C-alpha cells in the first residue's frame, strides 16, 4: 500500500511527462478490452490517473462520454493539446490527497478505468469508492497493472522495462497484491496482456 514517503508529487509527474515516454495503447489491449467489457456508445466513464489521455481518447472514440482525471498539470496540458473529442473532458484531481468530487455520485457511472496507476494509490480504499460510483447492475471497473514477477522463468529474455533497476515511474504490483483486488466483487476476471502486464475486470461490488 502507498505511503507518504513513496508518493510522487505533481511536480515529479510534470517533469516526467515533459521528458518521459508514456505507455501507448496497443491494439491487443483494445481488442481484449472490447471483447470483455463491451463498451457501447452512450455509456458514462471515468478514467482515473489519465495521464496524457491516450486511453481516455480511445474510450471517447468508442462513443462513451468520458472524463479523465489526473493531478499533473503537464499531463492534462498534453491531453488537451491532443485535441478534444465530443463527449470528452479532462479535470485536475488528486485522488488520494483531495476529497471525492461531487460529480462522482453513487451509481452514476457505467465504467471506471485506471491504467498503470494502482501501485501509486491507496487502491483498497479506492476500489470501495469505485464500487459505489458504478451502476450496481452493469458497472465495470477495468485496471491494467505492471506485474512484479519474482518467479520469472530462468532463461527467458529480460523485459528491458521491467527487469531493470526499479523505476519510480513504472511501479508494479506483486501477485500477492493483485490476487485480493477482486475480493468483494461478484465478478472478477484477470488476464495477461504480456508476461509483465495484467488486466483486471471487476463487476458487482458487494455482490
pTM: 0.90
C-alpha 130/C-alpha 149 separation (Å) is 27
Beta-carbon neighbour count of residue 136 at 10 Å? Answer: 15
C-alpha 206/C-alpha 194 separation (Å) is 30
For residue 161, pLDDT beyond 50: no
Q: Angle formed by the axes of helices 73-81 and 10-19, to 10°?
A: 40
Nearest to 39 by CA among 67, 60, 24: 60
Place of cell 499531463: 75
Provide the pLDDT for residue 165.
Answer: 54
Return phi, psi of residue 154, to 5°.
-65, 140
Provide the pLDDT for residue 14.
Answer: 94
For residue 2, pLDDT beyond 70: no
C-alpha 105/C-alpha 126 separation (Å) is 14
Q: Is the dihedral of CA 132, 135, 137, 142 positive or negative?
A: negative
Provide the pLDDT for residue 162.
Answer: 45
Provide the pLDDT for residue 171.
Answer: 93
| Model confidence pLDDT, tens digit, residues 42-79 | 999 999 999 999 999 999 999 999 999 999 999 999 99
Provide the pLDDT for residue 7.
Answer: 85
Q: What percent of the chain has pLDDT over 90?
A: 80
| Model confidence pLDDT, tens digit, residues 4-25 | 447 899 999 999 999 877 778 9
pLDDT band of 32, cuts 50, 70, 90: very high
Amino acid at each position: 500500500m502507498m505511503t507518504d514517503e513513496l508518493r510522487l508529487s505533481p511536480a515529479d509527474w510534470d517533469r516526467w511527462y515533459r521528458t518521459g515516454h508514456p505507455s501507448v495503447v496497443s491494439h491487443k489491449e483494445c481488442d481484449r478490452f472490447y471483447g470483455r467489457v463491451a463498451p457501447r456508445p452512450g455509456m458514462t466513464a471515468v478514467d482515473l490517473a489519465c495521464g496524457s489521455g491516450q486511453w481516455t481518447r480511445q474510450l471517447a472514440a468508442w462513443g462513451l462520454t468520458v472524463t479523465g482525471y489526473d493531478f499533473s498539470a503537464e499531463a492534462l496540458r498534453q491531453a488537451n493539446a491532443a485535441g478534444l473529442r465530443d463527449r470528452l473532458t479532462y479535470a485536475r484531481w488528486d485522488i488520494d490527497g483531495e476529497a471525492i468530487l461531487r460529480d462522482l455520485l453513487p451509481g452514476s457511472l457505467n465504467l471506471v478505468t485506471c491504467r498503470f496507476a494502482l501501485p501509486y494509490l491507496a487502491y483498497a480504499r479506492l476500489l470501495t469508492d469505485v464500487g459505489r460510483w458504478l451502476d450496481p447492475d452493469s458497472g465495470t471497473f477495468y485496471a491494467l497493472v505492471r506485474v512484479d514477477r519474482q518467479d520469472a522463468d530462468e532463461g527467458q529474455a529480460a523485459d528491458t522495462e521491467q527487469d531493470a533497476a526499479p523505476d519510480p515511474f513504472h511501479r508494479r504490483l506483486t501477485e500477492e497484491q493483485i490476487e485480493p483486488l477482486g475480493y468483494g466483487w461478484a465478478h472478477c476476471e484477470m488476464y495477461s496482456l504480456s508476461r509483465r502486464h495484467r488486466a483486471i475486470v471487476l463487476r458487482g461490488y458487494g455482490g
